[in-house]
Structure formats: C-alpha cells, structure tokens
Amino acid sequence: MSRGRPAGYARAAADTIRNKPQIRSAVTAATKSFDAHRREAWSQIDVDAWRDWCRDVKQHVVTHLDRYLEEAEAKLLANGVRVHWAESAEEALAVLGAVVDEAGIRRVVKAKSMLTEELGVNEYLEGRGVHVRETDLGEYIIQLLGEPPSHIVGPAIHRSLDDSRRLFHEHFGTPMDSSPEALAATARQALREEFLAADLGISGGNFLVAETGTLALIENEGNIRLSTSAPPVHVAFVGIEKLLPRIADLSGFLQITARAATGQPIGNYVSLISGPRRAGEIDGPETVHVVLVDNGRTRLLGEDVAWEALRCVRCGACLNICPVYRQTGGHPYGFTYSGPIGAILAPGLLGLEEAMPLPFASSLCGACADVCPVRIPIPDILLHWRERAVEAGLVPASERLGMRAYAALAERPRAFAAAGAGLRFVPWALGGRALPVLGGWSGERAPPELSPRPFHRLWKEGIE
C-alpha cells in the first residue's frame, strides 16, 4: 500500500499554490532562513573534508548493505530488540498490525518520521480504529489541519503564525493574538496527556549503527524521547539504507546532518536506543520492535547512477536552496519526499511512470548538489531519469519531436542562425497572441523584449 500519487495531484496542487501567494512567501522565507543558518554552520568547519568523509561512509554502507544489515540484525537481537523485515509497505503495516493485536494497542504517539509517511502508518492505524497523535509541533499542526508535510524537516513551513493562531483558536479556544510561546504551551499540555495515555510509541530512525545495534534519533523538541520511552511498546520503522557501520561514525553524521538541516552544531536532543528497558532502569519501553523496510530501495540500488540517492540523510538542505521548491513548497510534488531529493527518489521508489513528471521539475541549476552533505549528484540523477523517461515513451510526442528538431538545428550553424533570424518575426506574426505550443506558459507571462542584436552576433562581435 505504498502511498502513490493520485493522477493529476501535482498539477492541481501547483494551481492551488499559484493562487495562494501567502504559502509561497511562507515557504520562501522559511527556506531562506534554514539555508542562511546552514551556511553559517558550515563556515565553522572544514566542510569539504566532512562532506567527502560522509559521502565515503554512506557509499561504503550502501554498497555493502547485505553485510551490515545482517550485522545490525544480530546486534539488535542480542540487545533484546524484536527485528522484522518488510519488503513492501503492506508488509511493514502487517507487522504493525500484529503488534497492535498482540499488545491490544488503542492509543499511539508518533515521532516525526518521513518513512512512516511513506508507508501510510497513520491512515492504517486510524482505519483500524486506533487513535494516533503526531507529537512534533509542526506535524501536530498539520495533523490538525489534515494536511501532509510540506518539508522533510519543517513539515508546517508553508503555514504562517496566523494560520496556527486560527487553528488553535478553533481547537482549544486560545485568543487570536496568542504568542508563539502560548501556542506551544497549549500544544505541550495537550500532548503531555497523549504521552501518558499512549500504549505504543512509533518512531523512524535517523541512523542505525550495525556494530552495536543502536538506533539514533535527532530532534529539537524532546517529543521523540517521550514517544520512545513513555509508552510500554516502541516500534521503529527504519529504511534499510539508514545504516552506519560503526558507533564512531555517528558523531560526524549527527553533526553534519544538524548543520545541513537547521544550522545547529547538533540537534537539541539525540536519543540512542539500544533495546528495551533493563532491570533497574526507571523508564523505557518493555518491548522494542525495529522494522527494516525496503519498499523499493533494493530496486533503486540496482539503478545506474540513481542508486546514489540512497546516501541521503534527509536533511532538507537541497529543498531549502532549490529555486523550484522555494516557490512551490512540498505539496505540488505529490509525494512524501519533495524538492530535489523527492524528484530523484520518487522514480526509484514509486516507479518512473507514477513519478512523472517529477524528474523534469528542476532547472538543473545544480544548487542542490552544491549543498548536499553526502554529495549526491542530484542533477546527474535527474538527467538519468529523464533519459529513462524518454526511452520509455513517457514524454509527450510533441516534446520529443521538438527536441529532435532543436538538436538537428543546433548541429547545423547556418540553419540555426537562419531559424533564429526567422523566430524574430514570430511575436510580430502572432500580434500579441500566445504561441500555441507555449500556451500554458505564455498565458501567464509577457514575452520578453527581443534584443536588437541576437546573442550569437553579440558573441561573435565581442559582447560590450
């Protein structure tokens, strides 16, 4: 039951965003702020050396997954953790269903986890009549709004303070001029009761250390620690690519991930979970389950170039710098993971046809690759998926013909110059009407003024 993309979703969501400038300005402001903090945090370290090291470690893990997965499983079992393998979303949810039945679960608190979004955990539990409450403040807000996350790190960045005031006023009767602190205190009070009443806590996992069977979780609010320690049962869903070989690797990854995501030297809280509560310990769950989820990752691993996307640590830095994402936010992507990483993961995890046209939702400016802490070659992977889409006949015939015609012209300088000269008459011939093949585009924009001298002539004569 992988959560695919409803047909036409992306287009409909893009149209919605176009008519909501307040969402665009909220996303642009938040991403610029995240990115400014990342720059500052990176300026404090020898960032190129760190990025090379992180790339190499993840590259090693991803190309030796069989070995490290077996090692992680053995260590987790030795630590008293119950380990499950899930090839698909259906299998992962079946594991969860068995835990719910076995322990008689009625109330769940959830830490922020993109993998559980990918799997559709909330919908599954609610369908079984189980109460589920998101506990990250941003996730809590969008759960009350009935929306999916818009960003990997900041799920509610598309919403303004006034949106939250209105929402809390409707749900809790708080004044419409409440301060952010007052709103947070209201959520905190409501969530405290959820933590105490829950019989299951669900989390994802930022990293899983094979050497020790340690699950590492990064957060800023303390809700993950409460979700994973207050209820008697903890279920962690972990993508099979989230492994690190040694506990010594963790320190570098905890720091680079936080610096890339929010500009912090490290997250406010880092939880290292190595098993259920031991004798004499005052808190912690009695039972811990780790579900190792594939759900398309092995298939992606077999894909030329695109497999490098499995190095991703989900920091969101590529979203924050992306000129497309900054205008749209995450919803128009129509997939759990948005922005540049979403555009390269979707074809691998959902299948190319279902992911269309995400690989084309990029200007290929390369800014995403410049900021990726594990040096994923995102533009190369976008081109890879575009080539695959052309081969599979997923690109409209008109576009294929147009590109072929352009390539034929571009290879013949004289014909190219003649065509360029001819194009100069098009605006005159159309008399202000939109060019039919660019109808959607030119319907929204005024065509630019033509330069009196074409570029190739300027180039030849020496640009002044």
Crossing angle, helix 65-78 and helix 47-62, to 10 degrees? Answer: 90
Nearer to ligand SF4, 187 or 317 (CB): 317
Residue 215, interface with ligand SF4 (CB under 6 A)?
Answer: no
Point out which span in 123-131, 353-361, 373-381, 426-434 binds ligand SF4 (CB under 6 A).
373-381
Nearer to ligand SF4, 225 or 314 (CB): 314
Task: Quote the CA–CA distance of 257 and 169 in Å, as a whole number.
Answer: 35
Residue 276, interface with ligand SF4 (CB under 6 A)?
Answer: no
Residue 324, interface with ligand SF4 (CB under 6 A)?
Answer: no
Structure tokens at 341: 């990483």
Chosen residue from 112, 133, 259, 314 binding ligand SF4 by CB under 6 A: 314
Residue 326, interface with ligand SF4 (CB under 6 A)?
Answer: no
Q: Scanning residues 195 to 214, which ones bind ligand SF4 (CB under 6 A)?
A: none
Q: Scanning residues 376 to 405, which ones bind ligand SF4 (CB under 6 A)?
A: 376
Count CA within 13 A, CB hemisphere, residue 299: 14
Structure tokens at 86: 């899930």
Question: For residues 292, 295, 301 and 305, what is the CA-based torsion angle, rounded to 10 degrees?
Answer: -130
Residue 372, interface with ligand SF4 (CB under 6 A)?
Answer: yes
Chosen residue from 92, 317, 324, 356 binding ligand SF4 by CB under 6 A: 317
Nearer to ligand SF4, 111 or 261 (CB): 261
What is the phi-psi region of residue 178: left when phi exceeds 0, alpha when psi lies from -120 to 50, beta otherwise?
beta
Point out which span in 40-48, 216-224, 316-324, 415-423 binds ligand SF4 (CB under 6 A).
316-324
Task: Give the burial class of 173: count Cβ atoms within 10 A of its Cβ; 0-12 exposed, 13-18 middle, 19 or more buried.
Answer: exposed
Q: Shortest CA distance to 228 belongs to which of 294, 262, 274? A: 274
Strands 82-86, 107-110: pairing is: unpaired
CB of 268 to ligand SF4, least distance (A): 19
Point out which span in 191-199, 243-251, 371-379, 442-450 binds ligand SF4 (CB under 6 A).
371-379
Residue 47, interface with ligand SF4 (CB under 6 A)?
Answer: no
Residue 300, interface with ligand SF4 (CB under 6 A)?
Answer: no
CB of 319 to ligand SF4, least distance (A): 7
Residue 345, interface with ligand SF4 (CB under 6 A)?
Answer: no
Residue 318, interface with ligand SF4 (CB under 6 A)?
Answer: yes
Residue 258, interface with ligand SF4 (CB under 6 A)?
Answer: no
* Contact by Cβ (8 Å): 112, 248: no
CB of 340 to ligand SF4, least distance (A): 6
What is 202-267 written as a DSSP string? EE--SEEETTTTEEEEEESSSHHHHHHHSSSEEEEEEETT-EES-HHHHHHHHHHHHHHHTS-SS-
Nearer to ligand SF4, 352 or 376 (CB): 376
CB of 327 to ligand SF4, least distance (A): 18
Can you tell me which residue has the tokens 């019989």? 199
What is 85-99 written as a DSSP string? EESSHHHHHHHHHHH
* Contact by Cβ (8 Å): 329, 27: yes
User: In the complex, which residues of this chain contact ligand SF4 (CB under 6 A)?
Assistant: 260, 312-318, 341, 371-374, 376
